Chain A
Amino acid sequence: MTDLTSRAPSPTDSAPARNVGFYAAWGIFIVAVLVLPLIFRSGGSHTTFSLIGIAAIFALSYNILLGQTGLLSFGHAVYYGLGGFLAVHGMNAIAAHGLPVPLPFVPLIGGFAGLVFAIIIGWVSTQRAGTVFAMISLGIGELVASSSLILRSFFGGEAGITTNRTDLPALFGWNFGPQIQVYYLIGFWLIISAIAMYALTRTPLGRMCNAVRDNPERVQFIGYDPHVVRYLSFCFAGFFAGIAGALAAINFEIANAAYLGAVQSGVVLFATFIGGVGYFFGPVLGAVVVTMLQLELSDVTSVWQLYFGIIFIGIVMFAPGGLTSLLMMHRPLLRAGTLPMVLPAYLIALVPTLLFACGVILAIEILAVYSQGGSGSGTIHLFRIPFDLASPMTWLIAAVLTIGGFYVARMTWRGVTDAWDRAMTVARERGYHA
């Protein structure tokens, strides 16, 4: 259960060089959150940034479970959704009764809602880890999602519950009507939550979570109850998921059953895992990638979710540490200055790999048009190159690219492995270890 999630960097390593890197990473993160919307000024990009911010908090909260404690949950959206619903009800109540609570405090309502439900549900579901926990989280997720359609007065049935964020009292003249103000609200909570969640990993509890993830039996021997540790971790994850849900409710001004559903739980799992569970910022990267994919791919192709699934399968099979671990793999080479030894092999491997990818994409698109249109005629455009669907040439190109690309790519990746080993050996000789 643990091989995959146990590659977090060692905490005791406090070399000055690493400290600089640590503050640099946080500095870049905070500056990026604050400055990016000033560079990209269009309303569309502000919406995108808001979605990314929400997804990042949600994915970070998920990583408390998956990365820190080794709990694979298929129902994390329950706390996100309940946080969202409670936040909407809270906002409506504040507006109706004229309470002096400005909007920036509303995410706390969602957070405490997530916390309360995690406290209730968590005790049963964290009794065991591993596959059993995964199944229970799935079952509870389905239970809550189905119940939300029955309890209409609270969840609003299929339509959901709407609210109006501008009805709340303004703060410093901000009424949070424009998207940019909502973005900065999300960014504020993103920074606060990220710092809080990072601090959590540094507490004794966070360390115990890692211990429970790696060796629960040993944890029992030294006098801790793994169940309690898992439970506490689960409660914190629920709290931050609730904050993310409340921010989503503020952003969309609606909460509906989709917030709680299996799709939402799946997306956060995808984001966290694609980003990488071994590093704290992995889920943030994953949230950026997945949100951008969701927004951009859906414009380009009708079967974007299939590509999404293929990317996920590819990450699971070939880079189970996620994108961050792929990047961090190169750090010792970069420090030792042996990275240039690998780059030529990368460039050689890149060509057949891209051709293979093009072949797969072409095949999928042909199949998609063929089965949806039915007629099988017409042209599709791939990177602005027109392909005639009726001609056998197109099929041939797709087949050659896919099969040929696959075999050539496999050969060239062996070259990459060799070059990698050579570069790594030199790096080790110079005293830089992975």
Chain B
Amino acid sequence: MSLDAPLRSCRDTPVLKERGQREVFCGLTGIVWLHRKMQDAFFLVVGSRTCAHLLQAAAGVMIFAEPRFGTAILEEKDLAGLADANAELDREVARLLSRRPDIRQLFLVGSCPSEVIKLDLARAAERLNAAHAPHVRVLNFSGSGIETTFTEGEDACLEAMVPALPGTTTPGLMVVGALPDVVEDQMLALLSAIGVPNVTCLPARRSQDLPAVGPETRVALVQPFLGATHAALVKRGAKAIPAPFPFGAEGTTLWLHAVAAAFGIPLDRVEAVIAAPRARAERALSTVSETLRGKRIFFFPDSQLEIPLARFLARECGMVPVEVGTPYLHRELMAPELDLLPEGPTLSEGQDVERQLDRVRAARPDLTVCGLGLANPLEAEGLATKWAIELVFTPVHFYEQAADLAGLFARPLRRRALLGEAAE
């Protein structure tokens, strides 16, 4: 496949901006994967019973160990007086930390109710930091639905960590975005073989491994929804590496090319390292993509992964995107992706779910990528669906996962074909 830009891309495609009911998760949901990534961190949501219920519903019962997240549920008396709410919060945190001595990082996570009553969690974090340092570092961010949409919760969390990162003047690469450990290890092996110096990750698996940042730090994102974290790192002097995101063989190759170029590493060295895994990924993709070729796909807005995934599916799997919805379109970070995405689909930003449902029913795509609330109702209308949330939870980045990523889209279609008669 070609790494060249298409004849006509989506760069100048006008964007349909929608405002109405949004069928999306709030940023609190990010806690579900962030707490698995940061193994000595506890996420304490200061919110309502709804927040606790959301986390339980989103996390499912898969991780029903005593989890490293919880909700301090606001009660009527907390609403009556904020001074009392602060005292209560201090008490709950002290109790929590004494019960869980393994916790080294505590995130106070703001919610819709805590934002509306203007509970100052930044000050609370400062106060609690003073009380519990040096054993525990206390940070805060907001995962509220009024400020964050789904994956923006991870952005807010990582952004909150940036000011606490140590400084450095050593040249190096910081990779930003939570990846499953197995994928992160593959990536680190590739970068090391290519000869990229001093590679660190944000978030780190353990709190003592915080990456350092400075004027010689180059930053590469592996997730497209990290605009605020990106800006905060640039503000601390780091330099951005614009690149498509490492989804699929092509995305991975272009991402690695961009990283190597930023460190002046010759292209032939990169090519030598990636030749084998890249060929492997392309071979695996050619099998899986048979199911996908020529099929029309429609993305509801969910995680901001939609545009990179549409690019991957269009260019490497032969799918035809009909509409690519995204909760928020970050023009600067998405520019390399839009340059690659072939012209054709409607690009929509934001959501009016009823109108979008009208469009999907009119378009009748072969596959619809949507949230769990919409999936069964659309299946019942005869539309094959792919749960968007799985794209965030499953290892999908870099070469070895390229075919797995395509497989996530192929499986509903294969399943539909298998059940063809029974489902009639």
Do A and B actually bind? no
Q: Residues on B close to A: CB < 8 A? A: none
Q: Residues on A close to B: CB < 8 A? A: none
